[in-house]
Amino acid sequence: MNANEQKLCAVSEMDASCRVPLLALFGGAALWLVAGLALSVLASLTFHKPDLFADCACLTYGRLQPAANDLILYGFCIPAALGVVLWVFVRLSQAPLCLPLLPVVGANLWHLGVIGGTIAILAGESTGFTWLEYPRIASVLLLAAFVLVALSIFGTFGWRHHRELHVSHWFLLAAMLWFPWIYAAANFFLVICPVRGAAQAVIDWWYTNNLLFVWLALVGVGIAFYFLPKFAGRMLYNHYLALFAFWTLIIFGTWCGIPQGAPVPAWLPALSTVAAALVIVPIVAIAKITLKTVRGSHAQCKGGPFCYLKFGTAAFVLSSALYIVQACPHFSRTVEFTWFGPAQTQLQLLGFFAVVVLGAAYELLPRVMGFELPYPKVVRFQHWCFIAGLALLVGSLAAAGVVQGMKLADPKIGFEQASAATLVAFRVSTTGLLFLLAGSLLFAANILVMTARWKFGLLKTCLAAATAPLEIKEVRS
Amino acid sequence: MNHDISNPKPHATAHPMVPIWVISLTVTLIFLAGVYFDHHSGWFDARVYGPYANAEQVQMYQPLAGAEAERLHGKQVYDAVCGTCHGADGMGMAGKAPPLAGSEWVLTKGFKRLTEIPLAGLNGPVTVKGQSWNASMAAMGAGLNDKDLAAVLTYIRSSWGNKAEPVEADDVKAIRAELAGHAMINGETELKTIPE
Amino acid sequence: MKSSLPIFLAVFVALGASFGGFVFGSISQLGTAKQTLVLNSTETYPVQRTGNATLGLQVYRANGCAACHTEQVRQEGAACELVLMGAGKKPDAVAEVLKEIAPAGGEFSANDLPKTLLRGVTKETADVAADKISTAGGKAEIHISAVGSDISRGWGIRRSVAADYLWDYPVQLGNLRAGPDLANVGVRLADAGIQLRHLYAPRSTVEKSAMPPFHFLFETRKIGATPSPDALPLTGTFAPPAGYEVVPTEDAKNLVAYLLSLRADVPLYEAPFTTAGPAATPTNAPVAAAEPK
């Protein structure tokens, strides 16, 4: 074999080593995305027809909405991201995946935890803390699963041939350390050994910010900084600026999160406001790096993974801008406690993170599986489904939030009147969710068919090996 | 997509530095952040909540002076010292103490005689609101300081439907000085000799 | 950069800082807090909730009420009022001072007391004016009240502070107002009957309410020998079929006990006030209780 063929062999061997872990992670994740969006649709129907689930305790809005949110975050976002990160590390290290059994076990534990947690929430056993509703048992499973996957990632990192660190190494390795710390700490101080009084709320806000803002940014930007240069066919713009963005993101971003009107001493919201202002720096830096890397490249995207990543990174900049604006005291007075907050969260989760991970998944899956996507045209269609769905969902909720906030600020306007203004927005946002649901079904279809085709291929190989005629060997006399 | 494994190119351009505008933006924001924190945080004091900027402002907004606080103070003293016998509702208790609500001895224009009762003590027969009482009251006010006694007298003169002028701490001081060493007031006969 | 050690250090420093600051800082300040005193009183605050109310908090948590309701009142400022209580022995001197402080107040008359001289001023201004009046021999009172859109809306008389949540686990602050704030709902809607009917059929108490009905917290059963005293007085489309009554379950009763225990209306050192501000605009007041047939 000549050198080129050797290289290709090595690449396909690396990719093949990820196959089972990635399918385990993506398969479950795709199903959870569909389930989460379906539950979100059901939850939003409550605003059109409140009587819908009056008799059913497990479908009441207060249980549906947290279950849906957690399914999207813990069910889809984190495992799918871990899958992409595994593959990115394999490619960056140019070595096969280390200890591939660990992520497989981890994936199964994770999905088990998500099932248990979702059932618990719908049964009324949620912990009562936002974004941390899964009860103790499910949390332990999730933490253990994450640690197993992280071990494999660290192992793969340790096996790397070229010792120079890529920018994505910084972002993604930090993320692997970040999540276990915040998850374990939050569960310890809120569920296992609860603290007293308003300290619970502070720790919940600390956890939510560090997960939904910092962790998602670290992983999403890390993935984007790996893929974007490859798609654009150029180098990542300014290594030092990227590292500067990393440092400022983790140093300042971790202090955001306490809302302005919170019933806690003034220094807590003041620190968060200050941190939100300072976090402008890494966001601007990331925006500049992305623009300079992508603009002027001659690569076409045609609704493919490159488009996903461009859209996702743009959504990141927008959702971070909304997050920063929400922390500004003057604006926060109007939009705090309105639908503006959920709009920003949905933009961050679905608009930025889910899109980036889906784009990366579509790019890496054909390489890992060794064959093309079963429905390649669907990728472009799904891209437009997501853009339309997000525009409708986020746009309507954000507008509703601002209008609701302005009306609530005027005490002469009754509460019902202020809420009535949001009803129109809900019709639009439910439509947006339906678009997103359709897009997620397309992804699930791709994954499931790929898994089925691979398993069928395995089966065929086994059968062929079992039924092949025996070789007749000459016996030298 | 490139899969160049053998000769790893540098994956990112390396301009010599982080651009200067990013650094200056960071420094400016840090400065503004410091100013904001100084004005709005109360410097980690657990008792400072927005909208108050610092501990001094919270302290300033405490409703210390004012008739309401004094009245509350008077009520506290009354409940602690007088209420057991005269009743929390000022209606008195049979065999123990006459009522203060609507009492002609309380609702006087002046307050000299009223102040002398707790300062010196009172025993012997007294008629209050048409009823005859023959209890004995120790000098319950002798142990109170001027401020407390003034507050409780003001309280009984403005509660339970009573409406009479308040009593000042300075007046109590003067009356106490005048009264020094006086024995218990003996019944209504002696009480009537004291000017109101 | 070849080693990954700086990454570990970066995470340790950055996350360790906010972990120490927010988590341990808040635990040391708020997590070790004890009961505090009501302002100018010997009463302790907060009083622990009754057993039923504590169980009700768990029903609140299990049904995710915090997904639509907040339990925190915000405050934007504090305003003072200066009220002249007495003219003392020198009404002319007081009148002179009044001309200086409140020139628009018109002629001062000793029969016109108590008279509000200044409204919506800062404490410094009020203190200076009160000082001038007392030097002139008069008596003035300063009334401090909390100001904000939540407060004008009648959702509270002061902002919520950490002491309000001392006994709660889990603290259900909420972060979305799809429904009104509940921090003082025990003061605002002190009637258990209205609360129960609102839970069973929100539109029977508040027209056009978007709140889902919680039928599963109630039991619709055949009326026995006599109607149950707990049965809800429902009319019209909300009433159960003839011969049936709607009775609250233990969960519903506990939840209502919890809601009735929600109040944050005493002045504290952190959130002082002496009086309620100008009358709050009543909003979303429930429809007057329909007479039971």
Q: B49, B56, B57: best mutation site toward chain A, by most A Cβ within 10 Å?
A: B49
C278 domain-assigned: no
Chain C residue numbers touching B44 (CB-CB < 8 A): 25
Kindly report the three-state secondary structure assignment for every residue of A104-146: HHHHHHHHHHHHHHHHHHHCCCCCCCCCCCCCHHHHHHHHHHH
A134 domain-assigned: yes
pLDDT digits (tens, 9 = 90+) for B111-143: 888 998 898 888 888 888 888 888 888 888 888
Question: Do C85 and B47 lie within an 8 Å CB cutoff?
Answer: no
Same domain, C143 and C256: no
Residues 6+ away with beta carbon under 8 Å from A127: A133, A134, A135, A190, A191, C61, C170
Same domain, C185 and C251: yes
Query: Rounded to a whole number, what is the distance in Å from the CA of B83 to chain A's nearest CA?
Result: 37
Same domain, C49 and C190: yes
Q: Is the pLDDT of residue C86 over 90?
A: no
Considering C92, C115, C147, which residue would you say is the last residue of a domain? C147
Chain C residue numbers touching B51 (CB-CB < 8 A): 75-78
Same domain, C160 and C106: no
Same domain, B148 and B77: yes
- A85 is in which domain, residue-wise? 9-164
B14 domain-assigned: no
Cβ atoms within 10 A of the Cβ of A418, count?
A: 23
3-state secondary structure of A261: coil
Same domain, B123 and B45: no
B139 domain-assigned: yes
| ipTM reported for the complex, 2 dp | 0.92
C250 domain-assigned: yes
* Neighboring chains of C (3 or more beta-carbon pairs < 8 A): A, B
Measured between its terminal Cα atoms, the distance across chain A in Å is 35
- Give the tokens for residue A29: 């994740």
Q: What is the mean pLDDT of residues C77-88?
A: 85
- The pLDDT score that the predictor gives to residue C290 is 36
Tell me if chain B has a CB within 8 Å of the CB of C274: yes
Same domain, B50 and B83: no
C280 domain-assigned: no
B3 domain-assigned: no
C29 domain-assigned: no
Domain CATH number, residue C87: 3.30.1390.10
Same domain, B88 and B33: no
Domain CATH number, residue A102: 1.20.120
3-state secondary structure of A213: helix
Question: Do B61 and C272 lie within an 8 Å CB cutoff?
Answer: yes
Tell me if chain C has a CB within 8 Å of the CB of B10: no
Query: Rounded to a whole number, what is the distance in Å from the CA of B67 to chain A's nearest CA?
Result: 30
Residues 6+ away with beta carbon under 8 Å from A143: A180, A183, A184, A187
Do the Cβ atoms of B114 and B178 come closer than 8 Å? no
- Tell me how many domains chain C contains: 2
Same domain, C58 and C181: yes
C232 domain-assigned: yes
Same domain, B40 and B75: no
Block mean pLDDT (10 aa), chain A, length 477? 66 88 96 97 92 91 96 97 96 91 96 97 96 96 97 93 90 97 97 95 97 98 95 89 96 95 95 96 96 84 88 96 94 94 97 97 92 89 94 96 94 89 90 96 94 91 86 73
- The pLDDT score that the predictor gives to residue C284 is 46
B6 domain-assigned: no
Query: Rounded to a whole number, what is the distance in Å from the CA of A372 to chain B's nearest CA?
Result: 15
Listed range (A429-438, B4-13, C189-198) with the worst mean pLDDT: B4-13
A126 domain-assigned: yes
Q: C2, C24, C40, C131: best mutation site toward chain B, by most B Cβ within 10 Å?
A: C40
- The pLDDT score that the predictor gives to residue A477 is 62
pLDDT digits (tens, 9 = 90+) for C132-146: 887 777 778 888 999
B104 domain-assigned: yes
Q: B11, B61, B78: best mutation site toward chain C, by most C Cβ within 10 Å?
A: B61
- B24 is in which domain, residue-wise? 20-62
B140 domain-assigned: yes
- The pLDDT score that the predictor gives to residue B87 is 84
- Tell me how many domains chain A contains: 1
Same domain, B92 and B186: yes
- Give the tokens for residue B128: 């209050």
Residue B66: pLDDT band (50, 70, 90) is low
Q: Which of A60, A61, A70 is nearest to A139 (CA)?
A: A70
Comparing CB atoms, the residue among A162, A238, A264 nearest residue B12 is A238
3-state secondary structure of C140: strand
Same domain, C63 and C159: yes
A438 domain-assigned: no
Same domain, C115 and C251: no
Do the Cβ atoms of C146 and C43 come closer than 8 Å? no
Same domain, B88 and B180: yes
Question: Do B62 and C29 lie within an 8 Å CB cutoff?
Answer: no
Same domain, B32 and B111: no
Q: Is the pLDDT of residue B2 over 50?
A: no
Residue of C nearest to B42 (CA): C270
Same domain, C49 and C86: no
- The pLDDT score that the predictor gives to residue C287 is 43
pLDDT digits (tens, 9 = 90+) for A304-322: 899 999 999 999 999 999 9
Q: Which of C277, C267, C281 is nearest to C120 (CA)?
A: C277
Residues 6+ away with beta carbon under 8 Å from A211: A73, A131, A179, A182, A183
Query: Rounded to a whole number, what is the distance in Å from the CA of A428 to chain B's nearest CA?
Result: 37
Residues of C (153-172) whose Cβ lies below 8 Å from A: 153-154, 159-172
B173 domain-assigned: yes
Q: What is the mean pLDDT of residues B98-113?
A: 89
Same domain, C48 and C113: no
- The pLDDT score that the predictor gives to residue C114 is 77
Domain CATH number, residue C167: 1.10.760.10
C22 domain-assigned: no
DSSP β-ladder status, B126-128 and C244-248: unpaired
Q: A168, A235, A336: best mutation site toward chain B, by most B Cβ within 10 Å?
A: A235
- Give the tokens for residue A366: 């054909």
**A164: which DSSP letter?**
S
C25 domain-assigned: no
- Give the tokens for residue A321: 């801008």
pTM of the model: 0.85
Residue B192: pLDDT band (50, 70, 90) is confident
pLDDT digits (tens, 9 = 90+) for C236-263: 999 999 999 999 999 999 999 999 999 9
C226 domain-assigned: yes
- C53 is in which domain, residue-wise? 44-74+154-260
Question: Do C141 and B67 lie within an 8 Å CB cutoff?
Answer: yes
Same domain, C125 and C137: yes
Same domain, C127 and C182: no
Same domain, B89 and B53: no
- Tell me how many domains chain B contains: 2
